[in-house]
Structure 1
């Protein structure tokens, strides 16, 4: 008989790219850490799991548990517990791990929940009052169901504990990490990406979505005020939400069309080369549950400047230039500092060291420790 840890991978779809990467990396890193009396089961939605199985979980030591209900349906409230019960007779202990707050809320099995951020509550203008109410209700249900919560940063853990009045002992910080593909790139790869997107020899880079908390207008305003004839161009990459046109409007208003380039979405395979091609990476976000792009850029050897708010100082350590995100002069000062070659070299070395502290093996080991503690004490702390 084995202890079985069930990782719910139903949200590992293109609709949830961040959660998909989280689940993928846990699935890849955890099996070598399992003891002989332990096994990992991956809960899959057969309608959407084909590619995920093919790419990430086709391994003999991983059990594939199929359940046809989506996280967005009521059916999961009885189908998932039924699927979990099917494992119980042949196993010693069972722990269920949901990487998303839409989950089965009536479980006889000890449960773990991964928490990312409170953006729908901290930035209420993103969503309708009905959606905020639904988020608050379903999050409370998830927190009531889970004996243990995994938070992707200490900052996010503090937000969660304060907002929902949780016992901090129920929360364990298990940081994210860059994918192994994010590393210093060969010159040939840098040139390939540069030519593909028509990039200049040197540029400042922002990568991320354009939602208001990302604070792109502040970066563009600071860049406009700071820019000189010798200044580097600014490249903005990442998925574009048409509901928030302010950044592009500001570029037009400031007459920056020749200096600011919007690349939009791009394949994951091009991201390491994009980071490595940049002279420096700028991340002005007002709030992040973790801020993974900061680590991705560092892992590629790119100097970083980022906001001094939420989780970003925790993630960046002393390896980034920090600035107040609502101060254009502070952002402009960071841009000026990054024009200095010795400063960039120092930040590059620090960034590589900082990024090396975050690995999926370490995160998987911390996650596994939470599972094992729940086996010993199913009621939690």
Structure 2
């Protein structure tokens, strides 16, 4: 089977969640099928596997409306996009579109990296569900990454197409920490600083965690950083890294007491499973997606309570408790793999081909 995979959401400098998901899935699927990568910027190749590629328009370009007319000429057995916004008018090939989450219906602030006109359209798009239905129903099969999102899609009747799970996973070869080495009294947060990520409650919780240092790893715009710095409790140790390399991230994971996140909504929460794969406990908000992904291996707390968050962290001061949570996380992380995800996508691709032929 020849699968064309839309890699245009790959970053050019460092991965974000969608970028890493797409690149990891491409590499895993390439072991089972012939893969052609669709890119829009040759700099994306630095973060993609060494596979055949073709350059097409940016997914944010007006040309996206007619992108299918060009893809028709590629001869792919099926086209897969890790997003749901790929143009499909006039297509003559089976198509799989991916919806990761429904976060922006309840948290409509668009990502800051989008151009102003696109941000305006983003807000309009999320005012109602019918635009989403229109896009998804143009696919043959819809993919998503969790049972939580799959259930939400069914609740809101987002598509008449079959919805199949093609899961996320930690990176293969993640180095596990030495379980005998005592953790540093440090906490790490990996993720954006969008309002729904609820970093504010984590910061307030530091008031109740003397002796701990909180490391905020991701890049943060200056204005947003100023807002968050104003919330740091007096005397608390908070470090804004404004971006770290993969090696720096892994080193921090291997030494911290825990990875923390009190997000109010997620499509998956990849840092959670990355931490577990490294043998680092996780303290997270008690929301459906984290209950699903952690499978009971994380410490979950009320995202509205800084005190509950701090209480959960303090339980890890007990070395036996810390080791118990770390071991549970390792077992849970072992249940996820990109090999499994690749096979899920192959199954979905075969289903898309069958459905397309019946049209």
Fold shared by both chains (TM-score > 0.5): yes
**Residue number in structure 2 paired with 1:12:** 10
Q: How does 1:61-210 map to 2 (within 5 A)?
A: 63-64=52-53, 66-87=54-75, 94-106=77-89, 107-126=91-110, 130-134=121-125, 139-167=132-160, 170-185=162-177, 201-210=184-193
Deviations 1:42-95 (A, max 9, x none): 22335444434xx5133xxxx43x24311111223334432333426xxxxx21
Once residues 67 and 279 of structure 1 are traced to their aligned partners in structure 2, the CA distance between those partners, rounded to angstroms, is 44
CA contact (8 A) 2:279 2:327 kept: yes
CA contact (8 A) 1:170 1:380 kept: no
Say what the alpha-carbon RMSD is for the aligned residues.
2.6
**Residue number in structure 1 paired with 2:320:** 342
Q: How does 1:26-65 map to 2 (within 5 A)?
A: 26-34=25-33, 39-45=34-40, 47-52=42-47, 55-58=48-51, 63-64=52-53
| Greater Rg over alpha carbons, structure | 1
Deviations 1:138-189 (A, max 9, x none): 634421211211111111222233335434x6211222001124331479xx
How many residues get paired? 345
Q: How does 1:321-332 map to 2 (within 5 A)?
A: 321-332=299-310
Once residues 108 and 285 of structure 1 are traced to their aligned partners in structure 2, the CA distance between those partners, rounded to angstroms, is 40
Q: Secondary structure at the match of 1:42?
A: strand
Compared CA separation, residues 177 and 222, structure 1 to 2 (3 A): same
Once residues 126 and 75 of structure 1 are traced to their aligned partners in structure 2, the CA distance between those partners, rounded to angstroms, is 22
Report how far residue 325 of structure 1 moved.
Answer: 0.7
CA contact (8 A) 2:12 2:43 kept: no
Report how far residue 126 of structure 1 moved.
Answer: 4.9
CA contact (8 A) 1:217 1:246 kept: no
**Residue number in structure 2 paired with 1:235:** 215
Report how far residue 371 of structure 1 moved.
Answer: 0.4
- What TM-score comes out, normalization by structure 1 length? 0.82
Once residues 380 and 204 of structure 1 are traced to their aligned partners in structure 2, the CA distance between those partners, rounded to angstroms, is 53
**What are structure 2's unaligned runs of at least 5 residues?**
112-118
CA contact (8 A) 2:268 2:289 kept: yes
CA contact (8 A) 1:96 1:109 kept: yes
Compared CA separation, residues 175 and 123, structure 1 to 2 (3 A): same
